[in-house]
Chain A
């Protein structure tokens, strides 16, 4: 099934970031950390998607365990790819565009809150 493990999310994000050849422009650690940031955002926007973790900590994935399963409903997995891309492109880098980062992040938010996004 697509987008099951941490590795799946990083691989899909690298496709959109045109960063599939080593040495990577965006370190794997940074992309995994972006996934973690996305999980925190989901806790704020759609708490029921992470209700399993109520009363505790949202999962914190690590690049040392890329085969870890990301617990997320199928409907919202693609949104996290967009968040990872947007978060990666927020950095002040000559190859990044603020508008592209904003588009990705807004797409993540709007897909969480509405259907027609």
Chain B
């Protein structure tokens, strides 16, 4: 069941796209969210996972160094960092989303924390085909996301709502909004914050 905010979002979209049917709007809504979330990294989750001691060379045989992590919702798009209990970064790779390979032999079992950027998964038979993502995203970026959706819809050809010129305007605003959102995510929405910070103090 969509939230009241999502319902209002859809109503505004329907008004601006005369002749469009809901199922097509939802299809393009999914694609818009996939692009927005994939480009901005605003939807993040820290996933703890336990590793065991392992020796060998992970670049030759990563089997003992590979761990699978799953988010509570959505799909993993990008691995931002992996930290240990001391807050220090651990050298890892993630060639396949969700499969983290520790790139150094581990002498002891411990818990690591993977910070991942998420995106929407195919909403087939989930919540009435609405893409599933945190409510705060549509609350904060409603106009920006609507620009992306309207742009994608209006650039379809031979439709009553087709308008290439208007669609391009919307898509330009959408791309600009992606850039802004990406910066805000990097600064964790702190006004005037610097992008980098010193790592935790050595112990």
Contact = CB atoms under 8 A, between A and B. Distances in A.
Interface of A: 45-46, 48-49, 51, 73, 75, 112-115
Contacts of B159: 46, 113
A95 B51 CA distance: 84
Contacts of A46: 159
Interface string B1-36: 000000000000000001101011000000000000
B23 A48 contact: yes
Contacts of B23: 48, 51
A46 B159 CA distance: 8
B160 A73 contact: no
Contacts of B19: 75, 115
A115 B18 CA distance: 7
Contacts, number: 20
Contact of B158 (A45, A49, A73, A115): A45
Interface of B: 18-19, 21, 23-24, 158-161
A113 B162 CA distance: 9
Contacts of A114: 160
Instruction: State the main secondary structure of chain B at its contact with A.
Output: loop
A54 to B, nearest CB: 12
A115 B160 contact: yes
Contacts of A45: 158
A70 to B, nearest CB: 15
Contacts of A73: 21
A72 to B, nearest CB: 10
Nearest to B21: A73
A49 B18 contact: no
Nearest to A72: B21
B120 to A, nearest CB: 20
Contacts of B158: 45, 113
B21 A48 contact: yes
A42 B158 CA distance: 12
A100 B29 CA distance: 41
Contacts of A48: 21, 23-24
Contacts of A75: 19, 21
Nearest to A116: B160
